[in-house]
Every structure is written in structure tokens, then in C-alpha cells.
Amino acid sequence: MAPGGAPGAARPVVSFGEPEGYDDRARPRPLGLRVRPRVAAAAACVVLGLGLIGGALTGSWLIGEPGEAGPNDTFAAAGGLWHSVPVDQLFPPTVEGQGAGPGGADRTWTRIAVAPDSGCEAAFDPLLRKALTSVGCERLLRATYTDATQSYVTTVGLLFTKADAAAMSSLSTRFKAEGLGKRADLMPRPYAAKDTVAADFGPEQRASWTVSVLTDAPVVVYAVSGWADGRTVDDPQPAEDAMESGTTTAPAQAGLGNEAQGLADRIERGLRKTVSSPTEKPS
């Protein structure tokens, strides 16, 4: 009853405000709002977490799994093999050529000499050197092999270029379109090692050859073959033609196209294997 009020008068309406607490600065705050910041913070964490997970997934889709090398990495790795891989891995002392000879006969090549790594000045005839100018010459590695009977000698080379993938692809297209790999004036030169059966293996003894411009590595692989007795060859023939069935030229009949192509193919395969597993020891 209000003071001075008459008996039976209506009670006044009394309202209570929200209880107050204190924040970290000792300022009053409604206790009823305490839960809301926590809820908001939790929600923010959920959103942030989802965003990070989504970003990580997107990144993995774009760049691949950790440790998984892409084409660019493989191409770059191949370009450095000339100074990071032992010579016995690039040019094994013995190379087996199952089915590499004429009619599918097996071949075995034995390395008889390895040339000092060098530039390209003396390794190619002028026109071939000019044709390779667009990719440059980082380093040239060469080795000479002989067959099991020591009747034939073959020099195989790995030209490591300075080119990127686009330049290598362009050169490969040009070699195929213009038939540069079959031109006798674009033959690579042999490596004639003294005091070996290849001592007389000079430019005049070249009988068959092959040149392969790789597009997945900055490398040109080539091989050139001839007789071990030093005989001159008046009409050398590209390996691809000499290996055709029914060809009756002297290089074809002797299987010198098979010698060049078979050895070049196996050195190239070894190079690709080394790129995919550079730490693997040679067998």
C-alpha cells in the first residue's frame, strides 16, 4: 500500500531490470548477454576452420601431393644429370640389346672409351651444329662401344642443351618436318679413342646414324656407327632407312643401322629411368 493510500487500492506495478555483472574493465554489463560473445567466437572458429580446410584442399588439387614431381620438375632435373650422375649410369660399361639386331637378334655392346665432357664445337659437322644452335649447348657427353665380335664401333652422345621445353619441342618438330635426322650432311661425328678398336673411327668411316631430339628433357641423343677395321664409307645411310626390310646397302646388310639405333635407344631409356629415380644405382 502506498503511503497515505486507501485500503483496498491497487498495488503498484514493480519491474525488475536485468541483473548486471562486470566486464574485464569493471564496467557494468547485463549478465544475460554473457553467453552471446562465446557463441559468436565459436561460430567464427568453425567458419575459419572450414575456410582453412577448403584452402588446403584447393591447394592440393592445384599443386599435387607433397613429393610428387610435375613435368617441369622432371624436365629441370634431367638437365642437371650431366654433372650429378656417375658416368657408369649414363653410359654403362656393358649394354644388353635384346632383340636389337637384324631379324630380332640379340646384341651386347661393351664400352671401350668415354670422351672427356666438353662443349659441342668439335663434335658436330658445321650444318648440324647450326641446326642445334636454337637450343644451345650446355654440355656434351660421349662414349664409344663395340659389339661382342669387335667388328663394329658405335659412338653414342648425350647433348645437354640450354633450352626450355618449348624450344625442345620446336626443334623436335623441325627435325621431323624437314627430315633433318636423315641428312648425311647433318651426321654427328664419332669419338675415335686411341689404343682401342675405334682408333680409326673418323668422319670418313661413318656408316649409319640416328639423332633424337627429346621433348621431355633438354637432351639430344644420337649415335653413329661404322666398321672397326677403319674402312671408309662412300654412301652412309640413316639408321631408320638401313633397318627397313629388304634394304641391300652395305650398312644395312652389316646391321650398322641396328647398331646405331639399338644402342641409342637403350642409352635414352637409361636416361629416362635415371630422371625418374636419380638415386638408383646402375645394374
In this structure, the strands spanning 219-227 and 152-160 are antiparallel
pLDDT value of residue 186: 94
Rounded Cα distance between 141 and 120, Å, is: 9
DSSP 8-class letter at 118: B
pLDDT value of residue 98: 92
Handedness of CA 76, 64, 270, 204 (dihedral sign): negative
Nine-digit cell string for 262: 639399338
Kindly list the distances between the CA atom of residue 190 and the CA atoms of 4, 48, 71, 140, 205, in Å, as whole numbers in the listed order.
130, 66, 33, 13, 9
pLDDT value of residue 277: 67
pLDDT value of residue 15: 39
The answer to whether 143 and 266 are in contact (CB under 8 A) is no
pLDDT tens series, the chain, 283 aa = 444 444 444 444 443 344 444 454 444 454 444 445 555 555 544 444 444 444 433 333 223 343 444 567 788 888 888 888 999 999 999 999 999 999 899 999 999 999 988 888 878 999 999 999 999 999 999 999 999 999 999 999 999 999 999 999 999 999 999 999 999 999 999 999 999 999 999 999 999 999 999 999 999 999 999 999 999 999 999 999 999 999 999 999 999 999 999 999 999 999 988 887 644 444 3
Cα end-to-end span (Å), the chain: 109
pLDDT value of residue 121: 80
Q: Which residues in 45-69 are b (16+ Cβ under 10 Å) and which e?
A: eeeeeeeeeeeeeeeeeeeeeeeee
**pTM, to two decimals:** 0.73
